[in-house]
Structure formats: C-alpha cells, structure tokens
Amino acid sequence: MSYQNRKQKLLKIVEQHGEVEVKELAQKLETSEITIRRDLALMAADGLIFRTHGGAMKMSLASIPVSFQQKTSTNIEQKDYICRLAAQEILDNDIIFMDCGSTVFRLCQFIKNKRIKVITNSLPVVYELLNTEVSINLIGGELDGNRQAIHGKIAVEHIERYKVDKAFLGVDGISIENGLSAASEKEAEITTAMAANAQSTYLLCDSSKLGKDKYLKFAPLTIIDVLVTNQATDLLKSYQDLGLRILN
C-alpha cells in the first residue's frame, strides 16, 4: 500500500473519530507504527491533521479544544468503548445534557446521526456536533478559556430552565466512601445542576477513576442512576448494591 493510499484512509479515520492513536492506526492499516508515524508527520506538515503525542487529531479540533490536547491519547479505546455503550441508550427525540469532560466529548462521534437535542456547556462538543443531525442548545454564561466551557451562576440557571431525559456526565473521581469528586468547583456546580434536572443521569467513567478521590467532594453517589464503565471488576458490585445500574 502506498503512502497516498494510506493517507486517504488515515484522513478518513481521523475525520471520523476526531482523535486516534498510532497503535490503533497501525493495526487498522496493517502496517508498523513507525510507518504510521512517518505518514502522520508528513500529513501534519501539510496541515491535514494535528499531531498529538501518541496519535493525531482533526485539524478543526486542534484549533479549539486546548484543554483536550493535554489529555490526548490516554485511554482512548476505553473511552470509546464506554461512549458506544452510552450512545446505545440514547433514543430519537431525546433531549440530553452533555458536560465538558473529555470522556463525554468522545460521545459526540456516536450520536452525530441521531435526531436528538443536546444541551451542553462544552465548546468542543458544540463544534463537533455542528452541522450534524443533532440540534444544539448552548448553555450561556462566563467562558472559561482553559476548559473551553461555560460555567458560573448564569450557566446553572440556564440548566435549571430545562428538564431533560438524560444527562451524560464525567467526573474526576468516584468512590463508595466519598461519592463524586472533582478538581474544580465550577465543574462540580455544572455536574450537580445537570444531574438534578435530568430524568436519568449517566456517569461516563473509565476504570482508572473508580475508587479515586479528588480534592473536592461535591455530591453523593445517589445523584447518579447509571454508571457506564469499561471494566467488570468486583468493585462494581458495591456500586450496584447502592442501587446504581451498571453498564459495561
């Protein structure tokens, strides 16, 4: 297979997924990682993609989500697995909340063709769902440049005006003992508000966050209805005992 051929395929994959890892690409194209790296380097030089550590991302994305660049290429497969599960729960005509976490962001690719309404405070999500089947409602308020998301009192009030079917949320930490925890007060505020105004609240949470606590404990586990994760560990049983539905 020639470089040009691979280039086409790589472009397609990157367009589709938004963000990919070198390993993944090497497998898909049945070639070595070094070849993929060389290809990506050439393509990046042409401005066709944005090179990240361990992979690549869509140019259009790279210019926007600064905050996600730092988190790129960690646990992508796990996150995609989780998001695929979560997407299956979404029905046509659903109205859903999506918050500004990096896991939740990856849900976008799986819902592009659904006829739903998404209410979100995340600019990357907005950008990703622009000009798709999805109808978007953007939460208004103060923009946090680093997180590329809207936070604050106005944002919370905006959320409270809606009652939606499902909320898809991420957190920085979750444990039986301390419930949900976050690294930022602002994010916690949004998460809480979204959960309170959704019929079902889905927590998208890769296994690395299970049992971890961050500095700010902000809500009990009970605000969550469904825990979507990637590993079927014994740990999950205790969550199940607390009344959470587990998807994995």
Partner DNA sequence: TTAAATTTGTTCAAATATAATCATAAATAA
Partner DNA sequence: TTATTTATGATTATATTTGAACAAATTTAA
Nearest to 18 by CA among 204, 63, 147: 63
Give, for 96, the enclosing helix (H) or strand (E).
strand 95-98
Q: Which one of the spans 27-35, 100-108, 177-185, 235-243 is the region binding DNA (CB under 7 A)?
A: 27-35
Of these, 36, 61, 98, 205, which contacts its own copies (CB under 8 A)?
Answer: 61
Cα-flanking dihedrals φ and ψ of residue 202, to 5°?
-105, 130
3: tokens are 């470089």
Q: What is the DSSP letter of 210?
A: B
**Residue from 9, 71, 112, 117 binding DNA (CB under 7 A):** 71
What would the x/- binding string for DNA be over residues 178 to 217, using CB under 7 A?
A: ------------------------------x---------
Q: Considering only 51-59, 102-110, 163-171, 226-234, which stretch makes contact with DNA by CB under 7 A? A: 51-59
- Chain-centre distance of CA 106, in angstroms? 4
Return the residue of 34, 41, 45, 154 that touches its own copies, per CB under 8 A.
154
Q: Is 18 left (phi over 0), alpha (psi -120 to 50) or beta?
A: left
Site residues (CB under 7 A) for DNA? Answer: 1-3, 6, 21-23, 31-35, 37-38, 41, 51-55, 70-71, 73-74, 208
